[in-house]
Amino acid sequence: MESTSDYWRPFFYRLEARGLRVWLVNARDVKNVPGRPKTDKLDAVWLAKLAERGMLRASFVPPAPIRALRDLTRLRTALVAERTRHRQQVEKLLEDACLKISDKKDGASDLFGASGRAMLDALVAGQRNPRALAELARGRMRAKIPYLIEALTGQFTNHHGYVLKVLLELHDQVDAKVAELDARIEQAIAELDPTPPPDDEHPDRMPLLERLEEIPGVGPACAQAIIAEIGLDMSVFPTPGHLASWAKLTPRTIQSGAKNTHGKAGKGDGWLKGPLGQAAMNAGGTKTFLGARYRRIVKHAPAKKAMVAVARNILEIAHVLIADPDARFLDLGPDWHDRHVNHTRKTRQHVRELEHLGYTVTLAQAS
């Protein structure tokens, strides 16, 4: 069956429910011969001919339980983006009223934290006194009260109060649904987790979600997105490299004659590459092997290439953890590359560089 937008779904699901093994193939791989007439009937004949000759590759379609989990994680991602949009609108509204509450140095680092939200609710309730609003600050923010008094002196009118009330109500509704989805996703993953419980031989066995969260940079949301997007059956991807290639985290090889170059990785699954990219950026600042790898690559390549490389490593680690219920993440350490340096090759490289600059190099063993 050719994948055409979302039109394939009802037919695929009905045939799958009848026990048939259906192949969904990429339209790019089943293009008809140029110059031939193109109709739906001829396309079906062409698909049959390609299938007979083994020239088709089935696209990955996860089973129904994983598809249901994927719907939940993708909906949560959309709602989190919607919640962020409402927060940005609140920030813009306050700036329109000449109020600048959020400031990492002198104001609230999180406008929707305990102190910031108390001030917003007070503004909605009709409080306009800057000192009274600043006194709502809690904890370490109380040291910033003099700045807050100045920042809360503006032109906040009743119109701004009404718009702020509407935005906060929308924000709270979305926030409640995000929390509801979080609980439902955790429950769904707990029911699908194939990891057996601990026993005498494996007393330290942990659930899959907790093992994925041991990877540097990977949080609960990222681990849940990985499970929802690639599923729990790793037999679909024979090796971690196959999974990384499917996710479009490997550069395309372009070979012509004696020249080998690398092309773009490709578009891939944005619902998976987004969380992996964020996890890679988080891991880049840690004192771990992945952090050292990111910093090592970013010295000679763009930051995006370093991010894709670390994201690929994270996905390959996840493949091993999902495939083996007893596998645990073990960090190689930030000094792994230094401990595995080829001293002969490194010496030859430095000597060549110095000779290229016009020096004559004589090596002597240090005493």
pLDDT tens-digit series, residues 45-81 = 888 888 888 888 888 999 999 999 999 999 999 999 9
Q: Which residue has the tokens 């599923």?
A: 231
**pLDDT confidence of residue 32:** 62
Q: Encode pLDDT of 191-210 as tens digits.
A: 999 888 888 888 888 999 99
Residue ranges for the chain with pLDDT beneath 50: none
CA distance 294 to 337: 12
pTM for this entry: 0.86
State the Cα–Cα distance between residues 112 and 99, nearest whole angstrom.
15
Cβ neighbours around 21 below 10 Å, total: 7
Residue with tokens 């996905």: 315
- Interacting residues of 323 by C-beta distance below 8 A, sequence separation 6+: 234
Residue 129 has, within 13 A of its CA and on its CB side, a CA count of 4
pLDDT recorded at residue 38? 75
Please tell me the predicted confidence (pLDDT) of residue 118: 93
Give 25's strand partners: 2
State the DSSP code for 25. B
Cα separation of 346 and 352, whole Å?
A: 10
Q: What pLDDT, on the 0 to 100 scale, is given for residue 367?
A: 66
**Which residues in 294-311 are b (16+ Cβ under 10 Å) and which e?**
beebbeeeeeeebbbbbb
Gap between the Cα atoms of 148 and 122, Å rounded: 14
